[in-house]
């Protein structure tokens, strides 16, 4: 199982590294610069608002389905048509509820227009995620990897032409970005369905009350978990825009810092995408998960710590390199969010393990506490510290929920505390921080900041081996697994 995890993780990382950073830091950031922080801030707030009720589209079906298909493949053919029919009904309900709530909150006609298209995009994206859950549940990770980047690849082509291709004399409009998303999601959904249907027979579109109620009953605990996590992950931008007189501007500033953080988060999310079906399969066959937890922790957490430390030291330079306005405020938001990234990475390992084990009731209690904590902190911090306060609220919330999940995973699975690994990890963080501190503040070197980042990234690799977080035996095992897989 470690072999399958490492090989498919490598494929996912390569594909996503080629596509998603350029999309987020090139296309998305370019659009932010073109339309300005106020226009983009309104879009970003509406996007966050469309995410808040996104759970109605899914009601936990994606995670429930991934876990079930990984353990019982035959369920795909039995329930696919029923679930598609159910999701179409849920999509209509989601659209109505979201628009009614937007009306109650006083959004104007233009915001309603944008929100309507964002609702369509959310529906298409949710259908893609459902099809992908079947691909990953069947352990068809290569096909899932292609679908995971296809929509962003199409957006790069379309928006790249609109931004830099001189195909129009008009200034770039945020509506074009939304229309491009609709087209990209539609094409991706069709191809994802073709990938699935050429591999597995499925039932035709159906909608039976008894079957739908059974699916909803079993998936609701997953739905509640996703809803609660979405609230304390996405509520910040909505609260900024609604609570402050300059809310749209502050949401735009938060978006600048958030986009870099989101680029990193997309890579960490890949671990959860792979780990959920793998953990589920191991647990079904009553095999130990400790080895897979160890491998994923060594890789993800060391990478997350490295990236968080480097980005914190060079927060101003990284933001200024890509954005034109409000760089000082956005960089402070970005620095805090990258600390938050480390704790989210912990959640992607230990929260995913608990999800695979079916500990939904416990996870929902933690998530509910996270929502309460996040909202209270935002109410306290946003009026005084604005976007920076929202970032602080996110950091405290994510740290608290990650620690709780780690403790519970250790308790439920009797995971041993690896004192040597913990000591090695702390040593690595101290040494890397010391190197960065010396190069940045102590040693007077007339070199560009991006060269310093490159040096630190290059030094981090041998440092991981010297501190024994990664060992030569791990590489030998990986190489052996790769040769076995090729043969």
Angle at 319 between CA 50 and CA 42, to 5 degrees: 25
pLDDT tens per residue, range 72-117: 666 677 778 778 888 888 899 999 999 999 888 888 899 999 999 9
Q: Are the beta carbons of 42 and 238 closer than 8 angstroms? A: no
Band of residue 53 on the pLDDT scale cut at 50, 70, 90: confident
**114-123, 209-218, 298-307, 428-437, range with the lowest pLDDT:** 209-218
**pLDDT for 323 beyond 50:** yes
Neighbours of 352 (CB within 10 A): 24
Secondary element (H or E) of residue 290: helix 290-313
Distance of CA 169 to CAs 36, 109, 166, 173, 181, Å? 18, 27, 7, 12, 21
279-304 per-position pLDDT tens digit: 888 888 888 888 888 888 888 899 99
Better-scored residue on pLDDT, 230 or 431 = 431
C-alpha angle 112-115-117 in degrees, rounded to nearest 5: 115
Query: What is the structure's pLDDT at 114?
Result: 93
Question: Which pLDDT belongs to residue 344?
Answer: 93
Q: For residue 214, how far is the Cα from the chain centroid?
A: 29
> How far, in whole angstroms, is CA 485 from its chain's centroid?
29
Count CA atoms within 13 Å of residue 476 on its CB side: 3
Under a CB-based contact definition with an 8 Å cutoff, are residues 85 and 213 in contact? no
Q: What is the pLDDT of residue 134?
A: 82
Residues of the chain with pLDDT > 90, as a percent, come to 32
Q: What is the pLDDT of residues 386-400, one digit of tens each?
A: 999 999 999 999 999
pLDDT score of 226 more than 70: yes
pLDDT at 484: 42
Among candidate residues 141, 163, 178, the one with its CA nearest the CA of residue 42: 178
Confidence at residue 474, expressed as pLDDT on a 0 to 100 scale: 55
């Amino acid at each position: 199982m470690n072999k399958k995890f490492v090989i498919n993780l490598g494929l996912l990382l390569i594909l996503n590294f080629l596509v998603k950073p350029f999309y987020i830091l090139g296309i998305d950031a370019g659009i932010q610069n073109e339309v300005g922080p106020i226009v983009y801030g309104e879009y970003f707030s509406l996007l966050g608002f469309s995410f808040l009720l996104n759970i109605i589209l899914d009601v936990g079906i994606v995670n429930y389905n991934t876990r079930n298909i990984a353990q019982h493949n035959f369920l795909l053919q039995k329930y696919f048509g029923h679930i598609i029919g159910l999701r179409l009904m849920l999509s209509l309900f989601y659209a109505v509820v979201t628009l009614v709530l937007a009306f109650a909150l006083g959004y104007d006609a233009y915001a309603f227009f944008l929100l309507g298209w964002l609702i369509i995009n959310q529906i298409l994206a949710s259908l893609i995620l459902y099809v992908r859950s079947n691909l990953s549940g069947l352990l068809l990770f290569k096909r899932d990897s292609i679908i995971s980047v296809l929509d962003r690849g199409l957006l790069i082509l379309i928006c790249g032409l609109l931004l830099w291709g001189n195909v129009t004399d008009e200034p770039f409009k945020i509506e074009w970005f939304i229309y491009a998303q609709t087209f990209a999601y539609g094409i991706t959904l069709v191809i994802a369905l073709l990938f699935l249907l050429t591999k597995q027979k499925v039932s035709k579109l159906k909608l039976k009350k008894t079957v739908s109620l059974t699916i909803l009953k079993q998936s609701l605990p997953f739905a509640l978990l996703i809803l609660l996590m979405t609230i304390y992950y996405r509520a910040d931008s909505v609260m900024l825009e609604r609570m402050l007189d300059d809310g749209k501007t502050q949401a735009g500033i938060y978006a600048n810092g958030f986009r870099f953080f989101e680029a990193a988060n997309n890579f960490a999310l890949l671990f959860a995408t792979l780990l959920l079906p793998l953990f589920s399969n191991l647990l079904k066959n009553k095999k130990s998960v400790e080895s897979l937890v160890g491998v994923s922790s060594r890789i993800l957490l060391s990478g997350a710590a490295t990236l968080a430390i480097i980005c914190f030291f060079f927060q101003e330079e990284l933001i200024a390199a890509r954005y034109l306005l409000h760089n000082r405020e956005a960089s402070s938001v970005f620095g805090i969010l990258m600390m938050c990234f480390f704790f989210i990475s912990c959640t992607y390992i230990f929260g995913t393990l608990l999800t695979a084990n079916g500990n939904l009731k416990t996870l929902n209690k933690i998530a509910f506490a996270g929502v309460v904590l996040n909202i209270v902190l935002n109410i306290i911090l946003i009026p005084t510290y604005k976007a920076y306060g929202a970032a602080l609220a996110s950091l405290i919330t994510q740290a608290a929920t990650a620690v709780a999940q780690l403790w519970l995973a250790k308790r439920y699975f009797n995971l041993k505390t690896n004192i040597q690994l913990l000591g090695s990890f702390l040593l690595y963080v101290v040494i890397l921080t010391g190197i960065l501190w010396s190069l940045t503040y102590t040693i007077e070197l007339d070199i560009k900041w991006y060269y310093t980042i490159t040096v630190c990234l290059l030094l981090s690799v041998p440092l991981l081996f010297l501190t024994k977080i990664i060992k030569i035996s791990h590489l030998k095992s990986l190489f052996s697994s790769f040769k076995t897989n090729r043969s």
